[in-house]
Structures are given as structure tokens and as C-alpha cells.
Structure 1
Amino acid sequence: MSDARDEQGTWLQSAFSEHRRELHVHCYRLAGNVADADDLVQETFLRAWRARSRFEGRASARTWLYRIATNVFLDSRRSAGRRTVPSGDPLEWSTDLGPYPDALLADGPQAGLAARETVELALIAALMHLPARQRAAFVLRDVHGWTPQEVAGTLDVAVTAANSLLQRARHTLRGRVPSDPHDWRRPQLTGEDEDVLRRYAAARTPEDFRALLAEEVRITMPPEPPVVGIDAAADFLGRPLDWRTFPTSANGRPALVNYLRHPGGTHYEALVVDVLRVEAGKVVESNAFVGARHVLAFGMPARLGPQERPPGSRG
């Protein structure tokens, strides 16, 4: 019996290691931020470990782990109590959303598969319009391509109920996401993106920022209201604050990790990650995700000394 449990444990650890990266992307897609995805993946392994002797091999290990991860997410939403489904653009008000560092997709045996997984920020934001069970049904069916029977089995409902959840999700998302699923995929960073990011990271004054912004630029930073228009955005970005910024990328878009030193402070504190959308050489949108947890998701420390550089940082 002990040998059998040891074999099951070894098999599970191998399967989990193989699929961990894509499971993390799946959990991010459901939860909308990296910190929650980390917790969901950890709980997925714990549940799989406890249930390892009951795995019968009727489905693949990957499918089995995805089912567990999906139900971990649903249970987490039930335990959190009833949540209000948002109206308007979640990027303007939802504090649940967060960026996904491209570096998390960059290496390892599953890097190619994970990099193709959907982490486009606009789609992640759109999914916040859906209640948890509809979100799970949509992701499993329309993103992963699972059959209605597989979706129903994961959600423990009849196929007709699973199809009903899916149809309601599609109705809610109509007009909020591109109709072609190929357009849901993570965009590719371009040379133009990199050039604008470098100049944006070096900008300090309103005049510096004005040269980089589109006329109708929009800055979102929940829970604060958005800043709209080049004049307001340039003044907002060019405030005389003591920032340290580090270029990176997230969700296939140029991004900055930002630290702020308050007057009289001795250290810079992790504060915000900005994810930019660039069109025709101008920043048309900046989505600011406020909170140290977003910075930590990039493998960066919570505090920096005046001359300290985080390992692996750019710029």
C-alpha cells in the first residue's frame, strides 16, 4: 500500500510540474490577478494530492487538474460571499484585476504552450462581467474548447444547464470582446512598443509625457476615477514625485514597475504597475494597477534602497 501511494505521489508531482504553468494561466484568467492565481494553483495541488488515489485515468491528468483548479476557483468565490457583477469598464474600477508578467511565460518546457494561452488584458477585464460559474463555463468551452459534456462534468451540472451558463456568458460578453477568438490572444510586443516604453520610463515632466501621449489618452487606476485627455494626463504623470521605474512587459504589452519614495523616506516602496497600449507611436491607454502585490508578481521586492537594483530588472 505504501509503495502504491509513493508511486501515485511521484506521478502527481510529475504531472503537476508539467502542467503548472498553464494551470497558473488558467487560474489567472478566472481570478483576474496573479496573487489569487498563485493561491488557486497551490490549493489545486493540495486537493489533487489528497485525491490522488481516486484518479482512475478516464481523463488525462491535464484535464483532471483543470477540473480541480476550476472548482477551487468556484469554491473560493462561494466562500467570499456574493459579489456584485460590474457595469462599465472593469479597468476603471475593479481592484481585483492585475497584470500578468510576460516573464512567467518565457521559459521552461511548457513555455510555448503557455505563451499561446489567452492573457490579453481586455479579455481578462471583460470576464469580470461574468458571475463565477458563467466565467468558468465560458473559459472552459470557448477558450479551451472543451465539449459541453466535459464542461458539465466539471461544474457538476446537466449539459443543458452548462449550455445555459455558456449562452448567458456569451450574451453578456457580446460587444465587449472581439468576435474572433484569435483576437483574444496575447499580443506581441513590437519594436515601436519598446521604443515608446523606453522614452516613457525616462519621462519626468509634463512636457516629456505630452510628447508621448495621444490626444484622447486614458489612464485607469482603480479605485480612483480615470484621467482622460492629453492635458490632464500629462499634468498627472509629470507631478514632481520621487519615482524609480523599471521597464518590463505584461499581457503582451509594454509595462513599467514603479517605486515611490515619500518625502523624508529612506527607501522606495513598491506601488504600482502601469501597462501601456501604444498605437501609431503614442500611448493611447495606461492601465495602472495600484498595490505592492502587483509589483511582487513580477519577482520584484517590496522595498528598494536609493541605489539598489532588483535582480534581472531592465533599464
Structure 2
Amino acid sequence: MSAPTRGDDAMADESRAWFEAAHAAHHRELLAHGYRLTGNVADADDLVQETFLRAWKARDTFEGRASARTWLYRIATNLFLDTRKAASRRTTPAGDAFEWNTALGPFPDTLLDAGPHTAHAAAETVELALIAALTHLPPRQRAAFVLRDVHGWTPAEVADTLGVALPAANSLLQRARAAVRRHAPADPRDWRRPALTSADEDLLRRYAEARSPADFRALLAEDVRITMPPEPAIVGVDAAADFLGRPLDWRTFPASANGRPALLCYLREPGATHYEALAVDVLRIEGGRIAESNAFIGAHHVTAFGMPRLLVP
């Protein structure tokens, strides 16, 4: 084998520089795209890592007919479909995804808070209600809906990415839209990541400091609803206040996810020397009261916010 020439070295350096620029420019928004497809940050992160690995291996085949961004989105979307082929044959439980879907998770707003492409990625990060609705869709319908109705790709681009004829792509979109209408907010403006207000932040602080049932009752709406799959939902201010006000040793940290106030929760069991990451509570606020708390159980949800699994007092 002949030794590489100076020209070979220059081409390698140029290829590496192009790839690094593409990674810096598109990593955050690809993570948001992966989240919309998978419904949780851990799977989205795995998807993005594999996307860039495949892109690097196939970098010599990129011909520039589409933008690097479009090329990467196509790789990520098809990776998602490849990994979900078995899942597409399973039946999806009916009802509220916040009650049965243990894979659903929040998207930390801190993942979008820095970098030159923050505004674009944040604008494309959708509300939890739409993410939950998308879990009712088979994978190809979900991909078609996200590409067309979230990103605004043309039907022809969607068909090309999914490797189907245009009529088939349109059929996927029609079925996806019908399912989303049954499960998501009716107004598409409610699909977008809401803005966290100073009033929301103050209510979250008070919620984090609350300890007794009376403390919580003062913050909750009368018809408040707490979900934490696979456990049944807790509905009503009295039941919710009693549940939240149990005498347990918590440490909590305010945060935000999907534009909503969130609380990162650590629990210390009796006799334990440390606190363990347990859950992320994402709140929906209406009229100055907490109308809903979606609890996502599992340390991996907490660590997605850059927090440790264990805390020592």
C-alpha cells in the first residue's frame, strides 16, 4: 500500500473539519428531533450518537444535493425506523399516555440553553402533550408527521426519506394527523414549547419548599391530576395533597422541561446515608395553580438534567 500523499492528508483534514462543523451546527436540533421520535432523552441521545457515527462512515457518499442538515435528519429518521420495526407490530394501549407509557420522558430545557443554534432547536422542541400523543402512532406515521407537520418538509421529501411512493407518504400523514387530533391539543400553537414565566418560577419554588398536605393544598387546583406510570393517576386536590405531603425525606431541585416548570426529586430511605435520584415532576399551571403533575420515575430522567444519581447530605 502506498503512503498517503500531502493531498490525501489535506482531504482528510477538510473532511474532518466539515464533519466537526456539521456536528457543532446540528447536534442540538438533532437531539430535539430524536426526542420527538423516541419520546425520551436517553433514546434520543443514543440515536444522535449513532447518526453521527453513520454519517462519518458515509461522509464520502455525501454529494451535497441536499443540505448537511437534511442529510443528517434522514439518517436519524431511518435509524429510528430501523430500531422500531419490531415495535411497529405491537398494539399501543389506549387512553392517556402519561398513565401507561413508562418510556415517555421530559426534555431538559438546559439542553437548549447555550450555543449558536439555541433559538432554532428550542422553537422545534414540542410540548409534552404532543410528545405523548405521538406515542400512539406507529413509527412510520410518527416519522411522517414529525417531518411534515413539525419540520415543514414537503410530502415529496417525506416520501423520499421514508422510501415510499408519494401516495403512500400522504396516506401515512392522513392517518397520523387523525390519530394526533384524537390525542393532542386541538390548536397546533399548543404543540410548541411554552414560555416559562416568572410567576411559574415562583410557584415552582413554593412547590419545592412545600412539605405538609396543607402546604400543597394551597398550590393545587381543585381538579389537579398526578400521573406516574404504571401507577394509576391521582385526581383531586385532597388526594393529591395527602399524597405529596407524606412524611418522606426528600431533596428537590427546581428546573424546567419542555418549557414547563419541573422538579428534580431525590429520596433518602430510612437508615440510608445518601439520597437517590427518583423522579422528575413536570407541572402544568393554569390560573396560578398546579393543574397537573406528570411524574417520570427513574434516575435516568434526573441524570438527563446533568444531575448525579446519588447525593450525600
Distance of 1:144 and 1:133 partners within structure 2: 15
1:109 alignment partner, one of 112, 116, 139 = 116
Partner residue, 1:32 = 39
Partner residue, 2:222 = 215
Paired residue total: 306
Q: 1:182 to 1:167 in 2, by over 3 A?
A: same
Distance of 1:222 and 1:240 partners within structure 2: 22
1:129 alignment partner, one of 125, 136, 141 = 136
1:177-208 C-alpha deviation (Å, 9 max, x unpaired): 23443321100011221111111000001111
Distance of 1:129 and 1:84 partners within structure 2: 9
Would the aligned equivalents of 1:259 and 1:271 in 2 still touch at CA under 8 Å?
Answer: yes
Amino acid at match of 1:220: T
Q: 1:107 to 1:196 in 2, by over 3 A?
A: same
Amino acid at match of 1:302: R
Distance of 2:291 and 2:272 partners within structure 1: 33
Question: Which runs of structure 1 show a deviation greater than 6 angstroms over 4 or more consecutive aligned residues?
Answer: none
5 Å-filtered alignment, 1:1-315, equals 1-78=8-85, 82-306=89-313
Amino acid at match of 1:120: E
Q: 1:36 to 1:239 in 2, by over 3 A?
A: same
Across the aligned residues of Structure 1 and Structure 2, the Cα RMSD in angstroms comes to 1.3
1:69-117 C-alpha deviation (Å, 9 max, x unpaired): 1011111112667433231010111011100111111111001111111
The Cα of 1:120 is off from its aligned counterpart by 0.5
Distance of 2:298 and 2:206 partners within structure 1: 24
Would the aligned equivalents of 1:31 and 1:37 in 2 still touch at CA under 8 Å?
Answer: yes
Q: 1:126 to 1:80 in 2, by over 3 A?
A: closer
The Cα of 1:2 is off from its aligned counterpart by 5.0
- When normalised by structure 1's length, the TM-score is 0.94
- When normalised by structure 2's length, the TM-score is 0.95
Amino acid at match of 2:234: V
Q: Percent identity?
A: 72
Q: 1:12 to 1:182 in 2, by over 3 A?
A: same
Aligned residue for 1:86, secondary structure, equals: coil
The Cα of 1:230 is off from its aligned counterpart by 0.8
Would the aligned equivalents of 2:47 and 2:80 in 1 still touch at CA under 8 Å?
Answer: yes
Amino acid at match of 1:76: T
Distance of 2:206 and 2:283 partners within structure 1: 12
Amino acid at match of 2:214: E
The Cα of 1:231 is off from its aligned counterpart by 1.1
Distance of 2:17 and 2:83 partners within structure 1: 28
Distance of 1:273 and 1:102 partners within structure 2: 13
